[in-house]
Amino acid sequence: GENVEQHPSTLSVQEGDSAVIKCTYSDSASNYFPWYKQELGKGPQLIIDIRSNVGEKKDQRIAVTLNKTAKHFSLHITETQPEDSAVYFCAAGGDNYGQNFVFGPGTRLSVLP
Amino acid sequence: EAQVTQNPRYLITVTGKKLTVTCSQNMNHEYMSWYRQDPGLGLRQIYYSMNVEVTDKGDVPEGYKVSRKEKRNFPLILESPSPNQTSLYFCASGRPSMSNEQFFGPGTRLTVL
């Protein structure tokens, strides 16, 4: 089955700096790679996703890159703000909705003012 | 307001005492799922349902039961809870025909003594 690793487990950056979180996956059949943000006391919320036919996707300060050959994908947050502080989860899955959908262990991001 | 609700939000119980965690969504989503979140392990899928009366096991189904008698509700049942089921539980829903995004509830923190 799919196995997703995520690094680092914790990350502290100064406000205004960039943050990068990296994930690797094992199943070459996976073709959908979302990123979820979990704020304290809340459920995860989708912030951006990418499919295997695309190498990069950007939404304002957030971007995701995918390298299918190397089986890794990354989340990039630029100009970080205190409200970006949260736990971020990557995930990998296939065409079957909800099935074989595996989350990484999470990265706790702290943006220091 | 479109949302996924879970009840209770917090529960402390004892080993062997049957309990049910309810989940309800008001978005007419076909797909619903239960996850447990443990430190360092991310979110692991317990059970999911693609539609009414259709349920399937996820990665960690042992010790849990579910039912999907109505589209909006997807209760999680622990027939005989054990301390290793102490965890943070999330319900999620989605509409496969439109997107892969899953919408998560606020979570239920369960402690089994």
Mean of pLDDT over chain A: 93
Q: Which of B43, B49, B91, B101 to mutate to test the interface with A (most CBs of A within 10 A)?
A: B43
Q: Do B96 and A104 touch (CB under 8 A)?
A: no
pLDDT given at position A21:
98
Confidence of residue A52 (pLDDT cuts 50, 70, 90): confident
pLDDT given at position B1:
87
Tell me if B21 sits within 8 A of B8, measured CB to CB: yes
Chain A, residues 20-49, CB within 8 A of chain B, namely: 32, 34, 36, 41-46, 49
Longest dimension (CA), chain B: 42
Asked if the model's pLDDT at residue A67 lies above 90, the reply is yes
Surface-to-core class of residue A34, CB atoms within 10 Å of its CB (0-12 exposed, 13-18 middle, 19+ buried): buried
Q: Give the DSSP H or E segment for B110.
A: strand B108-112
Which residues of chain B lie closer than 8 angstroms to A24, CB-CB?
none
Query: How far is residue B83's CA from residue B18's CA, in Å, rounded to a whole number?
Result: 13
Give the minimum alpha-carbon distance from B1 to chain A in angstroms, rounded to a whole number. 16
pLDDT for A14-50, tens place per residue? 999 999 999 999 999 899 999 999 999 999 999 999 9
Ordered per-residue pLDDT tens for chain B, 113 residues: 889 999 999 999 999 999 999 999 999 999 999 999 999 899 999 999 999 999 999 999 999 999 999 999 999 999 999 999 999 999 999 998 888 889 999 999 999 99
Query: How far is residue B45's CA from residue B58's CA, in Å, rounded to a whole number?
Result: 5
Whether the upstream peptide bond of residue B8 has omega within 30° of 0, thus cis, is yes
Asked if the model's pLDDT at residue A1 lies above 90, the reply is no
Give me the residue from A45, A99, A104 closest to B42, CB to CB: A104
Asked if the model's pLDDT at residue A54 lies above 90, the reply is no
pLDDT given at position B97:
82
Which residues of chain A lie closer than 8 angstroms to B40, CB-CB?
9, 105
SS3 content of chain A, % helix, strand, coil (to 5): 5, 55, 40
Give the minimum alpha-carbon distance from B29 to chain A in angstroms, rounded to a whole number. 13
Confidence of residue A95 (pLDDT cuts 50, 70, 90): low
Looking at residues A68-94, what average pLDDT do you find?
A: 96
Q: Which of A59, A101, A107 to mutate to test the interface with B (most CBs of B within 10 A)?
A: A101
Counting one residue from chain A and one from chain B, the pairs whose CB atoms sit within 8 A come to 56
What DSSP line would sit under A29-73, residue for residue? T--EEEEEEE-TTS--EEEEEEETT-SEEEETTEEEEEETTTTEE
Query: How far is residue B34's CA from residue B47's CA, in Å, rounded to a whole number?
Result: 6
Query: How far is residue A45's CA from residue B91's CA, in Å, rounded to a whole number?
Result: 12
Query: How far is residue B51's CA from residue B31's CA, in Å, rounded to a whole number?
Result: 6
Which residues of chain A lie closer than 8 angstroms to B44, CB-CB?
103
pLDDT given at position A100:
64
